[in-house]
Amino acid sequence: MSERTPHPERVVGVFVAVSWAAVVFAVFGVLAVLLDRDPVDHPVGPLYGVAAIGVSVVVVYLGIVLTVPARRPWLGAITTAAGVYLAIVGLAALVDLSLAVAQAGSPFAAVAAVLAAAPPIVCWAVLHPARRARPGRAPR
């Protein structure tokens, strides 16, 4: 009795979004060492960074879930990247306008946005309904 999940992107999306956050966190660390710069140069509490990554994880998850059923992944990937960038800058604007301006030009926000384009594309390539084998049919 192995029934396929009708929407595997919902389950897989959680794991991919959390993995994306781990990769972004690691890339931020490497980039901080290479640039000799902190990801957030302004005097804000540590909760800003956690909130920015947390909201970005939700954006990546939604990007995956909404992109997998689409005919092509490109719009979903671009929208997800833009959503992550806007989430980082938008949350910074809630804290302080100068922080928002700094984050808008930050290489860390740009890297997070670029990396956010990959999960929807990869999940679409693996989980798109036309690519999955259906019961009773041979896989393509």
* Any domain includes 135: no
**What's the pLDDT score for residue 103?**
94
Residue 17 CA neighbour count, 13 Å, CB half = 22
Tally of domains in the chain: 1
Separation between Cα atoms, residue 99 and residue 92, nearest integer Å: 6
Q: Alpha helix (H) ranges present in the chain? A: 8-35, 47-67, 74-95, 97-104, 107-116, 118-127
* Any domain includes 136: no
* Any domain includes 78: yes
Q: What is the pTM of this model?
A: 0.86
pLDDT band at 1 (very low <50, low <70, confident <90, very high): very low
Question: Domain range holding 54?
Answer: 8-127
**What's the pLDDT score for residue 28?**
94
* Any domain includes 44: yes
* Any domain includes 2: no
* Any domain includes 51: yes
* Any domain includes 139: no
- Residue 20, Cβ density class (10 Å: 0-12 exposed, 13-18 middle, ≥19 buried): buried
**What's the pLDDT score for residue 26?**
96
